[in-house]
Structures are given as C-alpha cells and as structure tokens.
Structure 1
C-alpha cells in the first residue's frame, strides 16, 4: 500500500526524508483555555488585593488614625440643620469582625465614632438611633448606653430611638438612654433581664466512662463547668451575680423611663412585648414609622425643617461598591446593614434575647 505521506523528490534530485508536522489536537487547546482562564482569575484577584491595600484608605475613607470615615446619605428634608440617623444593628459586642480585605469595627466602636461625628458637626442638631438588635454582651450594652448618655450631656442634643424588627434585652437597655422611643408596629422589645447560658454534660460523660481530671486551685474555681454537677453553693454565687446585673438593668430602665423600680420589676421578668404592649406598659412612647420618629425628633429639637442623613461606613470592597452605587443613585430607600454575628461560645452573663436568631 502506498504511503500517502511519502515525499516525492523532483526527478534527478537526491532523495531526502521530509517530516510532516501534524496539527495540535482539540485537547491541547482546551487545556490552554483552562490554564488561561485560571491565570486571568488569579491575576484579577491579585489586582483586587493590591488595589485594596494601596487604594483602600482613599476609597473606603480610612483616616490616618485608622478610623473609617463616615459618609452621609440623604434620607429626606432640606436646610443646613441636620438630623443624623445612627444605625445600631445586630448583636451588641466589643469584638470586631472581618470584612473583605478590611477589618470591620465592632458595634461599640462604630457607635462611638458615629456619636463623635455628630458631636463635632455643628449642623447636627439631633440624633435618631435606629435600633435593630436582640442585645448581646452586658459590657458592650453598658458602654453604648454610657456613650449615648455622655453625648446628650456634652452636646445637649436630643436623642430619639426608632425600633425596627427587634430591640430586646440589651437592645432595650441602650434605648432607655433616649429622650423618646418610637417603635415600629411590628417591633418585638422588652426581654428585660440577664441570662447566663450553662450546659451541663456531667451525666452524659459519666455514662460513657469519661472522667474529668481537671485540677483547680480552689473549690469554686470550676464554677459553671459543664463537666461537673453544680453545687447549691455554686448556684447561689451565680444567682447573686445575675441579680446584681439584673438590678443594674432595672435601674437603667427606671431612670430612663421615669418609672418606679418596683413597677419596672413587674415588667422585667424576661418576657418580650409587642410594640403596642410596650406602649401600654410605658416602655415605649408611641408606635410609628421612620417618618414619625423624624417628626418627633424635629419637635423635640425645635426644628421646623432639617436634612435627615444616615451615617454609613463601608466594610471591605463589597461595602465600598454598595456605598458608591447608593451615592450614585441616591434615594430615600432605607438600607439595612449586614447583621454582625456574635459568637456565643463563652460562659458569661448577657443582656440577650436568645429567642432571636442572627444569621451569618
């Protein structure tokens, strides 16, 4: 059989072999395409990373001191006088979170910066705290409460709370610092009290022959341990701590709402209330929407008109793009921040309504 790839030499010429190059197969080009795709993806992510490091401060508004610049989004109104809306959303905690390439400040730090901004801006005549929180850490709740009280004392500016979906436990604790409270008709609030989650698995580990060989320096050093049965003495110690923290909560409510301590105690058995029930109990001044909270704030501050602005701080590149898009297409839409998740992996008292779930 003749070879179709054989080389035909011209007549009289010396015969020389010829090697014919075959075309590259489809598999080769598919591999090249896949490799190119992953290379471009890697290059894109690298550029994003470098850009966030080099330009993050400029785009995200980070000051030389490391604080995030606060941007103002106009909600409604006009005039030089301003009412600032400060969002307080999610679990109240001192712990910061991680954003895309950029660390997110804790809620405590965020509220501090917002109130500092409102203090320094002479055009801000009042503040609306937009609370949407089931509470959280006792210390975080108390720090925010005292920040609000200090802001009022130092500036003589009015503070109004507008409750969203939920303002329970620590969320109500910080609300008690306001001059007036407006709750959305569907708000869940109350839950005045303290909780210390304690899980005991002593019987379970004994059933499977597991022994706890922890060595403690004192009889009460292992108080609250999930691996040993709690003694009556240990329970009494923890109850005394819970009662002290409970009375601190009751005192804050009594002072903020001008109510007798015994009256507050009757309401402070940990139960939650609807907005309507809270108004009837004296825990909230009125039901309403954001525009009603703005109206109340104007009235308390003696303002005939004012520009209502919302304080916003972007977190990471996603936050930056979201903020930029809102500033380009600004309207009166109320934008919810991503709720910050609080890790409940430690044994400690909390002003927290545990019936509310925070999604990561």
Structure 2
C-alpha cells in the first residue's frame, strides 16, 4: 500500500516530488559539511591535543573597554587557558576605559600567567593597561612609556566672531562652562583643570608602580610625558625583555610550564567600522567630557 501511494504521489506530482528530493539532498549535504567542519576545521578540533594560550588584542585609540574587558573575563573563566598574551598596538586613549582594562588585566594576572607583547606602539594608556602583567616584552623600536595625562582645550572665540556666532548659553555655576570653546579660560579655571590633571597623573603613577612593583618615586621620575623606545624602556625598568609576539608566547610557555604544542585563541573580534569609530569617539568627547575638552592617556 505504501509503495502504491508513494508511486502515485511521485507520478501525479513529479515536479513537487523532485523539488522535495533536491531539498532533502541539500539538507543532508549541509549537515555532513557541518559535521566535517566541526571535526576537522573548528576551533575545538584545532585545540585538540594542544595547550591553549589566550590572546587579547588591544588596537588603536582606547575609547571603549567593553569588548576587551569581556574577552579578558571569558579567558579568565576558561580552565583550559593556561596563559594569556596581551598584544598591544595603541597610542592610549580616554582615562576611564584604560583604567577598566588595567583592572581586568590585573585581576587576570592573579589567576593566569599574563605577558604583554608590545607592537609598534604602546604609549600612555597603552602602557598603563600593560603594567599589571607578569612580564612585558617590547620590540627594540617599539614606542612606549609616555606616562602622563593630556587635556585637549580649544579656544574658537575669534573664529566664531568672524563668522557671526555668539555664545548665549546660561550656566548654573562658575565652573559649569569651564573649558568652553567660546572664550579663553580664566586663571581660576586653569587652576581647576590643573588640579584634575594632577590627580589623574598621580593615579597613573601609583597604578604603574603597583603593576610593575616599582617604587613610586622611580616611576614619578619617568612620568614626565616622554616616549621611549623599547630598548630605553628596558634600561629604565618599564619592560622586561626585547622581542616580538613569538617571544611573548614562548615566555608564557616558560612561565606556565607548557611543554606541549600550543593553540592561540585570539579575541575580541573587531566589530566596529572606521566610520563608526570616528563618530563614536566624537560623541564620547562631546557627551561625557563636554564641549572642547577631554582628559586622556595619550
């Protein structure tokens, strides 16, 4: 009976029956490919029989810490991650996100071996977030250090006058419009900003001293805003070894006593386009720090 019914359907609706057979074949093929990819090309298959070292990529200007901190937290939770390399290619960035990444690296180093690998540049906030690692590896020509804080303050009063724009905003208190682009700063405002700068600079010095296990006075003597090459930083105790990414991986293997082959698990994924990064940075400066000024480790 089933055969008769089957023959009747295929004979009465040959096009539908043929289409269904094609769909079935495609589904079976896709399932077979998924299983094949999982067994031979997936992340899990590549890690099979190998020790895993996590890699945290810190690239470009630091304006948001969320993706990096989340990835560090994920690596921290994974028991099979034996150590982590923080790969830094950054000129620094906004203060608070740099501090958040610093804290995440510091906490990670309490549980796993952490080595920083500095690329072309790891200055200011890029150096700041690197300092809690167990070891820092820099290329001889890496630009690093540059320990200090900068506030960008712009006076556009004359330009605004020439194009006929006049500021008529109303403020509730003396310092609410401090740093506005519409006029020069007063002496009291300069002193106010200097107090903020000095406090942020002190935080920077204290955190680097704690992260590197150095005397505060020694770090303070180096924290005059100067950039250093990797070789100069080594001579000043700000990095531990000269070398590249492979040297950092080898150092993690040595410190974590990893003798087997290793698989590098890299993240976080770069999700933001260049245009969105530019727009996001501009919005951050305007919405959080107010018009005309922003404190940054850069």
Bucket of the pairwise TM-score, normalised by the shorter protein: 0.7 to 0.9
* Aligned mate of 2:281, from 343, 347, 353: 343
Q: What residue in structure 2 maps to residue 355 of structure 1?
A: none
Matches within 5 A, 1:161-240: 161-206=116-161, 210-240=165-195
Q: Say which structure is richer in helix.
A: 2
**Alignment partners' CA distance in 2, 1:110 and 1:204:** 39
The 2-side partners of 1:258 and 1:87 are apart by 24
| Contact preservation (8 Å) 2:109, 2:132 | no
1:119 equivalent among 57, 60, 76 = 76
User: Are 2:269 and 1:308 aligned?
Assistant: no
Which residue in the other structure is 2:213 paired with?
258
Q: Does 1:85 align with 2:55?
A: yes
* Equivalent residue, structure 2, for 1:274: 229
Residues 86 and 129 of structure 1 are in contact (CA less than 8 Å); yes or no, is this contact kept in structure 2?
yes
Give 1:313 deviation, angstroms: 5.2
SS in 1 for 2:235: helix
* d(CA) in 2 for partners of 1:91, 1:164: 14
What CA distance in whole angstroms lies between the structure 1 residues aligned with 2:186 and 2:275?
A: 42
Offset at residue 110 of structure 1 (A): 1.9
DSSP-derived class of the 2:136 partner: strand
Contact 1:73 1:309 in 2 (8 A): no
C-alpha separation in 2, matches of 1:214 and 1:195: 27
Give, in whole Å, the separation in 1 of the partners of 2:276 and 2:133.
22
Deviations, residues 156-211 of structure 1 (Å, cap 9, x unaligned): 21110000111011100100010000002221111111111001122443466643
Alpha carbons of structure 1 residues 135 and 314: separation in structure 2 relative to 1, 3 Å: closer
In the TM superposition, 1:9-88 aligns within 5 A as 79-88=49-58
**How far apart in 2 are the matches of 1:174 and 1:187?**
16
Q: Which residue of 2 aligns with 1:246?
A: 201
Structure 1 runs not aligned, ≥5 long: 1-57, 59-69, 95-107, 320-336, 353-360
The structure with the larger Rg is 1
> Is the 1:71–1:312 Cα contact (8 Å) retained in structure 2?
no
Residue ranges of structure 2 left out of the alignment (5+ in a row): 1-33, 35-41, 287-292
TM-score (norm 2): 0.75
TM-score w.r.t. the length of structure 1 is 0.63
Change (3 A) 1:86 1:207: closer
The question of whether the paired residues in 1 share the 8 Å contact of 2:57 and 2:268 is answered with: no
Deviations 1:6-55 (A, max 9, x none): xxxxxxxxxxxxxxxxxxxxxxxxxxxxxxxxxxxxxxxxxxxxxxxxxx
